[in-house]
A and B are shown apart, each in its own frame.
Chain A
Amino acid sequence: MAAGVAAWLPFARAAAIGWMPVANCPMPLAPTEKNKRQDELIILNVSGRRFQTWRTTLERYPDTLLGSTEKEFFFNEDTKEYFFDRDPEVFRCILNFYRTGKLHYPRYECISAYDEELAFYGILPEIIGDCCYEEYKDRKRENAERLMDDNDSENNQEGSMPSLSFRQTMWRAFENPHTSTLALVFYYVTGFFIAVSVITNVVETVPCGTVPGNKELPCGERYAVAFFCLDTACVMIFTVEYLLRLFAAPSRYRFIRSVMSIIDVVAIMPYYIGLVMTNNEDVSGAFVTLRVFRVFRIFKFSRHSQGLRILGYTLKSCASELGFLLFSLTMAIIIFATVMFYAEKGSSASKFTSIPASFWYTIVTMTTLGYGDMVPKTIAGKIFGSICSLSGVLVIALPVPVIVSNFSRIYHQNQRADKRRAQKKARLARIRVAKTGSSNAYLHSKRNGLLNEALELTGSTEDEQHMAKGTSLIESQHHHLLHCLEKTTGLSYLVDDPLLSVRTSTIKNHEFIDEQLFEQNCMESSMQNYPSSRSPSLSSHHGLTTSCCSRRNKKTTHLPNSSVPATRLRSMQELSTIHIQCSEQPSLTTSRSSLNMKSDDGLRPNCKTAQITTAIISIPTPPALTPEGENRPPPSSPGHSTNISTTTTSNIVKVSAL
């Protein structure tokens, strides 16, 4: 719930009066504000610059330094203000976060300095608003890359590398020639041979002196053997290289389909085909054609040159603009060719024999080449010819800058789109987590609320404060609001998350989910999918869920470790297991396991005061790793949170939140 909206909470609660006449059951009591202080201004002195704000503004986020009692450590008695010896510029952003609920990242700020400040004030960077989040992530990634580069170069100097398999080392050597000297040697050798092969192809056709008979021979025929040997050598090297790459590729299928491998194949196939097909007169024409394909070897250079690759990529991404250019050119060519043909039809000995023949004239004129092999002779032809050349300049010159600017725009856009797509998933996950987080917090506090009532009945007050530590007044009011809604409709909230579905049942109001009831419930309203969820809460029921909860997917498994806003993180990690040592009102908590307790009357005298200890379990591993069907984990194991139906100690009822 955003901070700014907290100001509207009174309104929402007041509007809840609209539900009252409709409700069938009585409403729960409203939370009372125990210490309601008059709102006061507090002064924050950050390195000399004084900021002032209301106390309640800061208390909107009780998990941060400024919102909690941690700031008392910085209170200066003499001047009655809170003094922080930190950067006032960044503090401006942080204070604005409290005021508006949105954390912004100023672009001029250094990323590591900003991170440090956030860490100091206890604010998770994931709260950064969408407007600045991209920039923040970019800068962070650059910084991380820089750090990684530093680390890498350090590692390289130390020479400590993780051991990879032979195949993997080979692949790395191929892709990145700077990894080892052998790779570098290989790189230069192949480059050299590509060059040799291309030059050979070119020189083959140069006329090389004469033979007796006054016929000029190209070098290729004069020194046929030498050229053949060179060619063979080159092709052998290329073949070996290709086979090695094929062997080392992590995904052979993908490698075969990649552009570079196709180029390789096309480069070496003509040779083999030529070997097979020698001395066959019929196909010698085709053989000559095949030789043309040898020129494709020059594309092998693109492995050696980053620039070529970028050019190829940008051409590919500008295909639509190029297509447009081509299309408009074609339109103009056809129009002008037709006009010229009909204009020149009458003149004698006109070269414009047909419209396709006029195409040549039109192209040559529009690109301002003007060979002069076809010229119009009539007046009309000349007029149209000049119009043609003028428009040619326009038609060709206009799209070119557009294409050029599109190059850079599309290129950068692609990069940014990829980034955004990658971040979008994370962002959606965050939003979803925040949503479930708030309803989880509600269920959480409902439990606490019930326990509070139990405690109140037993009359111990200090533990109440233990309980209430986690929730602020605004949260309790919000939860009360949701509770009223539940009462009005007679339904109750089910959290969309297996990690926090509660598993004790209270007879009083049938709201908490008893596992068997839930299962029955799900089977009755049986909806679609059987997700292969490995949720421990339904460990013995193999992931049977309703459609709403089938959204529970792999994403939730990284809930504990994921980026959760600070306000939610605490409420989820705290109080994840609550041990209740017997209560004097057994009717309130009749879970299956407490049946043991009921029968034991001898415990009563010992249970004058109910003690509630909260065990804060940090969740080290995602629950997905817990094996299913594990029914009796050892009580002290952290993070394992499966069904605990029967416990060995009869007077401890474990209410596990996981």
Chain B
Amino acid sequence: MNLEGLEMIAVLIVIVLFVKVLEQFGLIEAGFEDTVEDEMEMATVRHRPEALELLEAQSKFTKKELQILYRGFKNECPSGVVNEETFKEIYSQFFPQGDSTTYAHFLFNAFDTDHNGSVSFEDFVMGLSILLRGTVQEKLNWAFNLYDINKDGYITKEEMLDIMKAIYDMMGKCTYPVLKEDAPRQHVETFFQKMDKNKDGVVTIDEFIESCQKDENIMRSMQLFENVI
């Protein structure tokens, strides 16, 4: 019995091998074909900004300034858009000691006004235009927008705490005096005491602007970066 069984198996194997050889010669079609190309080239994102005149009209920069800005922008991001990773990388080069990724994340969201995950040159220019050439009102608006992480019109203590921690992270570990655990929280408390007029635990845009306009230091420091370009 064993013999017969084995003989049958042997014969079966021979037949299978034969069929395979025939397949190779293309005489027998077997199996289904996968013709779908699985690999599609990643479309590289390229972005060309609006015309120079248009940007000049929309922002408060002169043509020359826009030229300088664009040259620097394109140098660092040849594809014309900045995604969050690149943004974080660029920003972290200015703060080698600490960890600036969280703050860069918030900043990215503040610049990316249409929330499409990338900052194009237009977003960049509009943001800078507000920051450098805008009125104090606009600047404060922008700052409020930065702090309001979920963009609901209110700054809560948690949001402020996140922002504060991100700022403190940028300093890194080697500071003097050594960073205490609750320093960000205390800073948030101070901030809320100053800003939250009706003590309801959140800061609205009006409270924010009003409190800032009363504060000499803040007003003065808003004018600080006028001549950055």
Contact = CB atoms under 8 A, between A and B. Distances in A.
Contact of A489 (B168, B225, B227): B168
B6 interface: yes
A270 B142 CA distance: 89
Interface string A22-40: 1111110110110000010
Contacts of A485: 95, 167, 170-171
A549 B174 contact: yes
B76 A492 contact: no
Contacts of A99: 75
A22 B191 contact: yes
Most buried by A among B107, B143, B218, B228: B228
B217 A16 contact: no
B177 A491 contact: yes
Nearest to A524: B178
Contact of B2 (A22, A342, A438, A521): A342
Given A23-B217, A26-B221, A12 B94 contact: yes
Contacts of B164: 22
A20 interface: yes
B35 interface: no
B175 interface: yes
Interface of B is mostly: helix
A392 B208 CA distance: 83
A546 interface: yes
B75 to A, nearest CB: 5
Interface in A499-553: 511, 513, 518, 521, 524-525, 546-549
Contact of B143 (A9, A18, A521): A18
B132 interface: yes
A494 B175 contact: yes
B81 interface: no
Given A21-B208, A380-B10, A496-B174, A7 B73 contact: yes
Interface residues of A, number: 74
Contact of A546 (B94, B147, B178): B178
Given A11-B124, A30-B225, A24 B177 contact: no
- For B139, B208, B225, the residue with the greatest tally of chain A CB atoms inside 10 Å of its CB is B225
Interface string B133-154: 0000001101100110000000
Contacts of A187: none
A384 B195 CA distance: 89
A384 B90 CA distance: 67
A205 B171 CA distance: 82
A137 interface: no
Interface in A474-510: 477-478, 481-482, 484-486, 488-496
B179 A491 contact: yes
A8 B176 contact: no
Nearest to A18: B146
B22 interface: no
Contact of B76 (A4, A15, A346, A435): A4
B229 to A, nearest CB: 6
A343 interface: yes
Interface in B59-97: 68-69, 71-73, 75-76, 90-91, 93-97
A125 B6 CA distance: 73
B49 to A, nearest CB: 16
A435 B96 contact: yes
A13 B228 contact: yes
A378 B175 CA distance: 87
Contact of B128 (A10, A25, A489): A10
Contacts of B175: 491-494
Interface residues of B, number: 67
Contact of B14 (A7, A383, A478): A383
B13 interface: yes
A442 to B, nearest CB: 9
Contacts of B218: 20-21, 23
Interface string A444-475: 00000000000000000000000000000000
B202 interface: no
By secondary structure, the A interface counts as helix
A345 interface: yes
A11 B96 CA distance: 17
Interface string B106-136: 0100100000000000001001100110000
A229 interface: no
B55 interface: no
Contacts of A616: none
Contacts of B171: 485-486, 489, 491, 493
B75 A4 contact: yes
A342 B4 CA distance: 11
A486 B127 CA distance: 24
B220 A39 contact: no
Given A11-B128, A383-B10, A481 B143 contact: no
Contacts of A5: 76, 90, 93-94
Contacts of A524: 178
A16 B96 contact: no
B167 A14 contact: no
B36 interface: no
B7 interface: yes
B19 interface: no
Contact of A30 (B7, B14, B127, B227): B227
A379 interface: yes
A2 interface: yes
B105 to A, nearest CB: 13
Contact of A380 (B6, B147, B176): B6
A19 interface: yes
A384 B147 CA distance: 78
A21 B187 CA distance: 12
A273 interface: no
Interface in B160-199: 163-164, 167-168, 170-179, 183, 187, 190-191, 195
B103 to A, nearest CB: 8
B205 interface: no
A353 B147 CA distance: 85
B45 interface: no
B18 to A, nearest CB: 13
Contacts of A224: none
Given A19-B167, A379-B7, A491-B171, A346 B97 contact: no
A1 interface: yes
A398 interface: no
Contacts of B94: 1, 5, 8-9, 12, 478, 481
Given A22-B164, A438-B96, A27 B72 contact: no
16 contacts: A4-B76, A7-B71, A8-B72, A12-B94, A17-B142, A18-B147, A21-B147, A27-B220, A27-B221, A345-B2, A383-B11, A435-B96, A478-B94, A494-B175, A521-B178, A548-B173
Given A21-B218, A383-B14, 7 more contacts: A14-B228, A18-B110, A26-B221, A489-B171, A490-B183, A494-B174, A525-B178
CB-CB nearest 5 A-B residue pairs: A7-B72, A14-B131, A491-B175, A494-B174, A27-B221
Interface of A: 1-2, 4-27, 29-30, 32-33, 39, 99-100, 339, 342-343, 345-346, 378-380, 383-384, 387, 434-435, 438-439, 477-478, 481-482, 484-486, 488-496, 511, 513, 518, 521, 524-525, 546-549
